[in-house]
Chains A and B, each alone.
Chain A
Amino acid sequence: MIEIAGYELRLDRLYDPATHMWVQLQEGCRARIGLDPLSSETSGDVVALSLVEPGTIVAQGESVGDLEAAKFVGPLVSPVTGTVDEVNRDVLLEPALLNRDPATNWLVTVALDPSTRHELDAFLSGAEQLRPWFTVEVDRFRTQGAIAE
């Protein structure tokens, strides 16, 4: 794990700069996805969550569910293409887990479509890639007022 500007990023996974989601590869060409810490913080206090049913086919950029915070409902965008094969019932029951520990509390597991494995190439991993990207993102979010100084 590394800490960047007060945010902890685990090194056992990939990060999608486009969606601010993390992707943790699992056995059998599967991937768990969740919110990165900036995504969690800018969402505010998550009060409700809905996720697609297992078996749903999602393309990269499509919604795997919706999140509600402060009467705002927004889509949870999948960083990968595949078939959702598991949803995390714990976060459905207690959405606040996404604020408390977004690195542990995943959203869904996706069986990756082998023909779209190249999607993973755009993701970032390892301290050398994560540190410059995340530092710039924190600065950008702070400049926009999206997170506190």
Chain B
Amino acid sequence: MRLIDAGTVGALRSQALWHGIAAAMGPDDEPTLSLCRPGEAYMSLGYHRRLDELDQAACSREGLPILRRRIGGGPVLIDDQQLFFQITMPVRRAPASISRLYATLLEPAAAAFRALGLDARVDGLNDIAVGPRKISGTGAGQIGEAVVVVGNVIFDFDHARMARVLALPDPGMHDECLRLMRRHVSSLRDEGLAHVTAADAATALRDAYATALDGAVTSAEPTAAEVAEITRFEARLRDPAWQRGPDLPERAGRRVKVRSNVFVVHGEQDGVSVLASVVGDDIECATVAAPALNGTAAALERALVGNVVAPGALAARLAPFGECGGQILAAIGPGLEARW
């Protein structure tokens, strides 16, 4: 396994580095673990996410440029309190399904967190978690002939800053997102490991991936071909057309995913506005606002709380409310059913 430790780099390089390494990889190349620490804060947006999920004015006020990455997932605040790791390997050496890919290539990262002192595990398909809290954001993609799985070690996280730059339909949704982020997105500091340094984390990652990939570690600088691709991606990532992203349909309602199986949804239908926080299989709490409800809002909010996974469960709880219940269901349905 090659190890490229780029140290602290600028925002653009922190993304272009691993895009370029993947783009330059040939079918017979050995896997490469790359590491870098972003030296400045920015917002990273998943490839298939709309730019208008971010409050661009707020991003400007916060001094946060927006960089779209060529892997999935939603908007993420990146800053100098994170260490990025990426494992890149030729497509033909990578597991053939996405679930196996994550299971194989995220387990070493979980092992690295355990080596640092956390009871971490790969949770669900692609979260690395400690208890109910996500400790690392991850994503993956195929770039050229390579597959890359990326993640971060979060030393500290500014939940409030992250929530401030999301474009949300009402302040209540902001508050709910922030509440759930604080509960479900953790950091080494939050877990009592403020003493862990970037060097400690880099060593743990290097050792864990070397063990998992059965190979010696060769420290390396990017090759000339990689440097050329990194440079090409730096230009591409700052291209306004790339930042706008692919042409994507507008989605009904608004949904913010906090971690796997934890999200906040908002929807409106015929003047009825519904906000719900979903944790696991259940709506944990909900807010219903509509002038015409004449006092039934509180009862509707109570009815919303409960299982949303069992087919028909939510509809059955709302059925006693007749037309109002139908409006609530129509308002919140698209957000609940969304898979992103």
Contact = CB atoms under 8 A, between A and B. Distances in A.
B101 interface: yes
Contact of B97 (A47, A73, A146): A146
13 contacts: A44-B98, A46-B339, A47-B72, A48-B48, A50-B48, A66-B48, A69-B72, A72-B72, A72-B142, A73-B48, A73-B72, A75-B142, A146-B100
Given A69-B98, A71-B71, A72-B72, 5 more contacts: A42-B98, A47-B48, A70-B98, A70-B99, A73-B48
B102 A70 contact: yes
Contacts of A96: 339
B126 A44 contact: no
Contact of A73 (B142, B247, B249): B142
Max chain A Cβ within 10 angstroms of own Cβ: one of B73, B97, B125 = B97
A50 B141 contact: no
B95 A74 contact: no
A42 B247 contact: no
B94 to A, nearest CB: 10
B173 to A, nearest CB: 21
A147 B101 CA distance: 12
A68 interface: yes
A20 to B, nearest CB: 10
A85 interface: no
Contacts of B101: 72
Q: Is the interface of A mostly helix, strand, loop or mixed?
A: mixed
A50 B95 contact: no
Contacts of A146: 95-97, 100
User: Top 9 A-B pairs ranked by shortest CB distance?
Assistant: A50-B246, A48-B48, A71-B72, A146-B97, A146-B96, A73-B141, A47-B340, A74-B142, A42-B97
- Chain B contact patch, size range: 20 to 34
B143 to A, nearest CB: 9
A92 interface: yes
Given A70-B126, A92-B249, A48 B72 contact: yes
B248 interface: yes
Nearest to B141: A73
Given A50-B247, A66-B246, A71 B140 contact: yes
Contact of A45 (B70, B96, B100, B339): B339
B47 A68 contact: yes
B46 interface: yes
B214 to A, nearest CB: 18
B259 to A, nearest CB: 12
Interface string B18-50: 000000000000000000000000000011110
Contact of B96 (A42, A49, A71, A92): A42
A73 B70 contact: yes
A43 B97 CA distance: 6
A72 B340 contact: no
Contacts of B222: none
A48 B251 CA distance: 11
Contacts of B49: 48
A129 to B, nearest CB: 22
B338 to A, nearest CB: 8
A145 B70 CA distance: 26
B139 interface: yes
B100 A72 contact: no
B97 A74 contact: no
Given A44-B98, A66-B47, A72-B101, A93 B141 contact: no
A133 interface: no
Interface in A47-81: 47-50, 53, 66, 68-75
Contacts of B47: 50, 66, 68, 73
Contacts of A48: 48-49, 72, 248, 340
B138 interface: yes
A144 B99 CA distance: 12
Interface string B283-311: 00000000000000000000000000000
Interface in B114-169: 125-126, 138-142
A68 B247 CA distance: 14
B96 A73 contact: no
A145 B71 contact: no
Contacts of B246: 50, 66
Which residue, A43, A44, A48, A49, has most C-beta atoms of chain B within 10 A? A48
A70 B125 contact: yes
A102 to B, nearest CB: 15
A20 B247 CA distance: 25
